[in-house]
Amino acid sequence: MQADLDRFNSRRSTVLSTEGMVATSQPLAAQAGLEILKAGGNAFDAAVATAAALNVVEPTSTGIGGDVFACYRTADGELGALNASGPSGQRATLERVREQVGGDEPEMPLRGGLTVTVPGAARGWEWTLENHGTLGFDEVLEPAIRYATAGYPVSEIIASNWQSGDELFQTPHARAAYLTDDRPPHAGELMTLDRLGASLEAVADEGADAIYEGHLGEAIVEEVQREGGLLELDDLSDFEPERVEPVSSSFRDATVYELPPNTQGMIVLEALSIAEAAGLDPGSFGTAEYDHRLIEATKLAFHDGHRHLTDPRFDPPPALLDDKHITERASRIEDDSVLEAELLESIAEEADTVLLCTADAEGNLVTYINSRFAGFGSGLVAGDTGIALQNRGASFSLDADHANRMAPGKRPFHTLIPAMAELGDGSWLSFGVMGGFMQPQGHIQVITNLIDGQMTLQAALDAPRWRHYADGTLGIEARYGEHIVSRLARRGHDLGIRLPVHFGGAQAISQRDGIIAGATEPRKDGAAVGY
C-alpha cells in the first residue's frame, strides 16, 4: 500500500463491500442498481437497472435509442459477452447512400436520418434478463421510470454536456422532450423526462417488443424516414442480439478479455502484446521510457485496427494477435524516435458513452456499456416517445475499398468495449473506459497501472493519462510528471496539455475471496456504491 501512495496519491479510496457493488458515471444511476441488488436482484438485473437509469439521469451520453454491449463472468464461472449493436437498414446500399449524400467524394454525415442504425439496447437488456437475470423488466425499470416522471436534480458535468442540445434539437418534439423552458437545464435544476418515462413504462409492460414490434418502433421508423433515413419496420423486427465469445491475450501473469469485432477490443490486446514483445520493463513503470514504448505500441495497434476491424460477417479480421505479426510490429519501436502511425480521422475520436460495472455476493460480475455514439446521437427524437436516436451509422465509410464501408444489414465499427481481466493474484476484474478512441488507450493504462504500477483499484483510475490523437499529437493531463513530459518531448512526441474531460471515464470492480472492490472515474460525476 505504501508503494502505491509513494507512486501516486489517489484522490479517494477504493470502495469495499461483501454483498454487492455498482460503479458508474452518475450517482443516482449507481443507487438505482444498488436498489435492485438490495431487493434480491443479481448483478445482471442491477446492470440493466443502472443502464436504464442512466438513460434518464445522463441522457447526454446514452439512451434506449442506442446500442449495448456486455462482458461478464457468472457465479458458476461462465465467461461470455453480448453484442446488441444494431445494423444498417436493408435499403442502405453503398450506392444509394452515396447518391443521397451527394458530391464527388461523399462522406457520411454526422447527424440526421442516414446515421440512424437499428437501436439494439432494449433487446440487449431483455437478453440480459432472460439469460442471466432473476427479475423482470417491470422491476428493473422502476427506478428509471421514477427518475423520469418524478424528476431528479441534474449533476454538474452532465449539465455542461447538455448545453449542446440547444443547437442540436431542431424539431419541436425533440426540444419538448429534452429541454426545459426551451433551454438546457442548469446544474442542480430539477428535470423530468415524462415522454421518455412513458416509453420506459411501455417497455416495462410489453417487453422489448414495444420497440421492435410495437408503437414505439413505428414512431422510430417514421422519424428516421421523415429525416431521410433508410430504416424499415422489418429492420427492427428482424434484429436479435448475439452472444459472442470474448477475445483474450495474456499480459504478464494476467489474462485480459475484450469483445471481438465489430468493436475495437482487439486494439487493446494487440497493443499490450506489442509492448510486452518490445521489452516493456515493469521495473521502469513511471518513467518516460515505459510510457514511450506503451504509446508506440498503441499507435501500431490503432493503425492495424482502424484498417481491419469491422463487422466480421462481411470482412473477418486478420490474425492481429499472431506471434509473428506481434514480433514484426514490436521490432518497429525505437527508444529515441516516434512512429508516424496515425489513427484514421473519424468522429468516433470524441464519441461519448456510459459504462457501468456490477457485482453481487454470488460471484456474478458484469461490465455493461450503453451508447448513442456522439452525445445525444443523431439529433432526432422519435415523435412523442422521448427516445433520442443514435448516430452510430456516421462511422460507416462511403469508400468502396474501406473495410468499414456501408452495406445493408451491416453493423458499423464500434468504439464500445466492456472488458474483464483475470489478474495474477486470483482476482477477477470488471472494467472499462468511456470516450471514443480513448477507450482502448484507457484500458491499456488502467491494466498497466494495476499490474506494473501495483496501484490500488481507485489509484489506477485516478492516475494522470496520455492520449494519442488522429493528428499525431500526444495529449497529456496537467498532473503528469514534468520529468516524464520533458523526456517524452526529447524523444519526438508532439505534446499538448488537455483538460481532464478528454481522457475518458473509467469504472472498475474486482472480486476476490468474497471481497468486492469498486472504483469510479474522478473525471465524471460518478460513484461506486456497495453494501
Rounded distance between C-alpha atoms, residue 134 and residue 305, angstroms: 37
3-state secondary structure of 23: strand
Is 353 part of the annotated catalytic residue set?
yes
Instruction: Please state, in angstroms and as integers, the Cα–Cα distance from residue 375 to each residue in 135, 159, 285, 348, 380, following that order.
Output: 30, 12, 35, 11, 12
Q: Which three cell numbers stand for residue 286?
A: 513511471
Query: Which spans in 110-193 are helix H?
Result: 121-132, 137-140, 142-150, 156-162, 165-168, 172-178
DSSP line for 300-335? HHHHHHHHH-S-TTTS----TT-HHHHHHHHTT--T
Question: With 0-12 CB in 10 A as exposed, 13-18 as middle and 19+ as buried, what is 487?
Answer: middle
Q: Which three cell numbers stand for residue 409?
A: 444489414
Kindly name the residue from 74, 263, 353, 367 that is annotated as catalytic: 353
Q: Which three cell numbers stand for residue 230?
A: 433508410
From the list 429, 407, 433, the residue with the least C-alpha distance to 420 is 429
Letter string b/e over residues 441-459, b meaning 16 or more CB atoms within 10 A of that residue's CB: bbbbbbbbbbbbbebbbbb
For CA atoms 133, 16, 71, 476, give the dihedral sign. Answer: positive
For residue 61, the 8-state DSSP code is: T
From the list 455, 414, 107, 477, the residue with the least C-alpha distance to 259 is 414
Letter string b/e over residues 315-333, b meaning 16 or more CB atoms within 10 A of that residue's CB: bebeebbeeebbeebbeeb
Q: Which three cell numbers stand for residue 365?
A: 460480475
From the list 118, 127, 53, the residue with the least C-alpha distance to 88 is 118
- Sheet (strand 428-434) strand order: 15-17, 515-520, 505-512, 428-434, 419-422, 254-258, 247-251
In the chain, the amino acid numbered 434 is M
Unique residue bearing C-alpha cell 501512495: 5
For CA atoms 425, 430, 433, 437, give the dihedral sign. Answer: positive
DSSP line for 271-291? HHHHHHHTT--GGGTTSHHHH
Rounded distance between C-alpha atoms, residue 301 and residue 41, angstroms: 39
- The catalytic site residues sit at 353
